[in-house]
A and B are shown apart, each in its own frame.
Chain A
Amino acid sequence: MLDDLKFMNVSDLMQGWPETVPVFVKHRMACPGCVMAPFMTVREAAAEYGLSADGLARDLAQAMPRERWEDRV
């Protein structure tokens, strides 16, 4: 799951799982509301902020209700 998450685009993630928005905010990332969010993957966004992609993906995964993720895949 974490690997899939890292390659998801940030905008889809926030739309499909609004629970992830506070995670970006917590990491002081400006992704919520950013015009470029539809074009950036979680991995790329992490890199721009000097964060570990694995760590960010883990935090995001924790915020996401598991059943909705499983529905998707």
Chain B
Amino acid sequence: MDIEARTAVLSRSPFFRELDPDLVALSAREAQERKLAKQESLFQQGDDATHHYVVAWGRLRLDQATPDGKNIVLRFMGPGDLVGSVAVFRGMPYPATPVAVEETSVLSWSAVRMMALMQENPPLAMRAMGMMGGRIEELQARLQEIATQQVERRIAATILRLAGQSGRRTAEGVEIPFALSRQDLAEMTGTTLHTVSRTLSAWIEEGLLEGRRSSHLVILRPHRLVEIAEQA
């Protein structure tokens, strides 16, 4: 890529977008370019974090090996995404291995040079913080999914199983005709009382269940509960 093409790539990336054009042009000039073939790694998990990267085009898969040798996919990175910066700022080894899933091109700056650019241009540092904040937000959302969605399905399935075994039809819905405490449900679903309480409260709020008037749960919207239990 010539400098013009690099500048165009950077001005579209969220890292540099709408920043001082001179800064973008300077950064484009100073960047090192590297092309990766499909399946090639940009660096290895555990390597010293020496460079910041921006994906110019293509796509990387961020693989992380767990201590027991499993591989997990953290995320995919596309054009404009910042790679490696968290580790560089933290002064720790790269925590994952970016592998090109198609032919990919990246632009890079050494940690020292990027630090100087940021010191001279605070908006660039603010931008990096914003991008890393976005990453945290994404991870929080995923953590929430892992922590709540799976268990939601388990709770829904347990209630349905109980209703299927012993439920009775009432005018309002399907009643589980015995006192079922939240602690019982927690123990049946392998989760905490807190999670069961939070989940049931949300469902009661949504009108899916009735559980306030007595200790008997009533499923007001059986179809919806089945959907939750079976969601992929």
- Interface-lining segment among B43-51, B158-166, B177-185, B195-203: B158-166
Q: In the complex the two chains form, is B226's CB within 8 Å of A34's CB?
A: yes
A48 at the interface (CB under 8 A from B): yes
Query: Which residue in chain A gives the minimum CB-CB distance to B175?
Result: A39
Classify the secondary structure of A's interface with B: mixed
- Give a binary string over B147-172; 1 marks a CB under 8 Å from any A CB, 0 the rest: 00000000000001101100101000
State A2–B126 Cα separation when bound (angstroms): 67
A73 at the interface (CB under 8 A from B): no
Query: Which residue in chain A gives the minimum CB-CB distance to B229?
Result: A35
State A30–B226 Cα separation when bound (angstroms): 10
Q: Number of contacting residues on B, CB 8 A? A: 13
Query: Which residue in chain A gives the minimum CB-CB distance to B157?
Result: A35
CB < 8 Å neighbour of A35 from B160, B169, B173: B160
CB < 8 Å neighbour of B226 from A9, A36, A38, A44: A36
State A30–B227 Cα separation when bound (angstroms): 10
State A3–B169 Cα separation when bound (angstroms): 20
Query: Which residue in chain B gives the minimum CB-CB distance to A34?
Result: B226
Q: Which residues of B contact A36 (CB under 8 A)?
A: 160, 163-164, 174, 219, 222-223, 225-226
Q: In the complex the two chains form, is A35's CB within 8 Å of B223's CB?
A: no
Q: Which residues of B contact A38 (CB under 8 A)?
A: 164
Q: Which residues of A contact B174 (CB under 8 A)?
A: 36, 39
Q: Which residues of A contact B223 (CB under 8 A)?
A: 36, 40, 44-45, 48
Q: In the complex the two chains form, is B226's CB within 8 Å of A39's CB?
A: no
State A33–B174 Cα separation when bound (angstroms): 17
State A45–B160 Cα separation when bound (angstroms): 16
- Shortest A21–chain B CB gap in Å is 17
State A36–B224 Cα separation when bound (angstroms): 10
- Give a binary string over B206-232; 1 marks a CB under 8 Å from any A CB, 0 the rest: 000000000000010011011000000
- Shortest B124–chain A CB gap in Å is 52
State A60–B52 Cα separation when bound (angstroms): 64
Q: Which residues of B contact A48 (CB under 8 A)?
A: 223
Residues of B at the A interface (CB closer than 8 Å) are 160-161, 163-164, 167, 169, 173-174, 219, 222-223, 225-226
Task: Report 10 cross-chain contacts, Cβ distance below 8 Å, ordered by A residue.
Answer: A30-B226, A35-B160, A36-B160, A36-B164, A38-B164, A39-B163, A39-B174, A39-B222, A40-B223, A44-B223
Given contact pairs A36-B219, A39-B174, A45-B223, a sample of 19 additional A-B residue pairs in the complex whose CB atoms are under 8 Å apart:
A30-B226, A34-B226, A35-B160, A35-B161, A35-B164, A35-B226, A36-B160, A36-B163, A36-B174, A36-B222, A36-B223, A36-B225, A36-B226, A38-B164, A39-B163, A39-B173, A39-B219, A39-B222, A40-B223
